[in-house]
Structure 1
Amino acid sequence: MGTWAVDAFGNDYAQDWAEDLKETSNLDAVENTLDVALEDNGDELEMPFAVEALVAIEVLARLQGKGGARTEDSAAVDDWADARKPKARLRTDLAEKAGRAIERILSERSELRELWEESEHYQEWLASVEDLRSRLTA
């Protein structure tokens, strides 16, 4: 995976997911992505699913007007969310799933967390995920 930033958008999987989001008109992709991240078959949460879940959670935050920094990397999600904001209401079940997904991403059974722990940027990544969580729940 190509990674260039600690935020949710700074890697190839996130960019691919965001591009696919443009083909949808509702929150089905977000919900499906969170459901995959929450599937617990006793295995570790694989990195691609964790990365995609973080972008899906960013979609929810942006729909609430609580998006993070707008960058070139976040443009596809920003545009998608901007087009839907006037009508969007965050479903409480999706907010709950998003919170549980963040817990799973930060758990010891998360490949993404393990990979970041092995890097010199772990604390920055952790702060980025915690910032996302706080924006979602604020």
Structure 2
Amino acid sequence: MGTWDIGHFDNDTAADFSAKLREAAEAERENIIRTALTSTIESDEFLDSDEACQAVASAALIAAQLPGGTSVTTAYGPGVPMPAFSPEVRALAVQALDRVLAPESELRELWDEAGYGPKWREGIDELKAVLLT
């Protein structure tokens, strides 16, 4: 995984995912996010870091629309309007983040190995807190 910082969009996979959203019709964007979240939730093997990065980026986009959420202003974000996400997608984001934080997650393992696990989990926990309010 090419990573340049600890932010939710500061890696190649999230930047590529943002490009996919940017190129998609606005009506397709929620489905792309829903698919990324569902794929993460339904992964019953070791969760690949690419899947996890897409789920985290999706959760950040959903949380950005909620009170207490942080706007996605990074150049690596989609940079286009997102639809008003349904409450169902918000619940999927919480489930996906739980899966990303599970012991069988490559992304969690990579951040732990790099020594940034606690700081990275803090950012994920902040997303979850916004999604759960």
Fold shared by both chains (TM-score > 0.5): yes
Contact kept in structure 2, 1:68 and 1:132, CA below 8 Å: no
User: Residues 129, 84 of structure 1: CA spacing in aligned structure 2 closer, same or farther, 3 A cutoff?
Assistant: closer
- Give structure 1 regions of 4+ aligned residues with deviation exceeding 3 angstroms: none
Give the RMSD, CA atoms, in angstroms. 1.7
Shift of 1:68: 4.7
Aligned pair count reads 129
CA distance in 1, matches of 2:106, 2:100: 8
> 1 CA distance for matches of 2:60 and 2:23?
17
Q: Determine what percentage of the aligned residue pairs are the same residue.
A: 26
Q: Deviations over 1:30-82 (max 9, x none)?
A: 00111111113x311111000011011111112336225633333x2xx32xx
Residue identity opposite 2:21 in structure 1? L
**For residue 73 of structure 2, what is the aligned residue in structure 1?**
70
User: What are the within-5 Å matches in structure 2 for residues 1-138 of structure 1?
Assistant: 1-24=1-24, 25-26=26-27, 27-40=30-43, 42-64=44-66, 66-68=69-71, 70-74=73-77, 76=78, 79-80=79-80, 83-84=81-82, 88=84, 90-138=85-133
Structure 1 unpaired stretches of 5+: none
Distance 2:89 2:72 in 1: 22
Consecutive unaligned residues of structure 2, counting only runs of 5 or more, are none
1:20/1:119 CA distance change after superposition, 3 Å: same
* TM-score, length of structure 1 as denominator length: 0.84
1:67, 1:135 within 8 Å by CA — same for their partners in 2?
Answer: no
| Structure 2 CA distance for partners of 1:121 and 1:52, relative to 1, 3 Å | same
Residues 85-126 of structure 1, C-alpha deviation per residue, up to 9 Å, x if partnerless?
6xx2x3121111111101000000111101111112111111
TM-score w.r.t. the length of structure 2 is 0.87
Residues 121 and 84 of structure 1: CA distance in aligned 2, closer, same or farther (over 3 Å)? closer
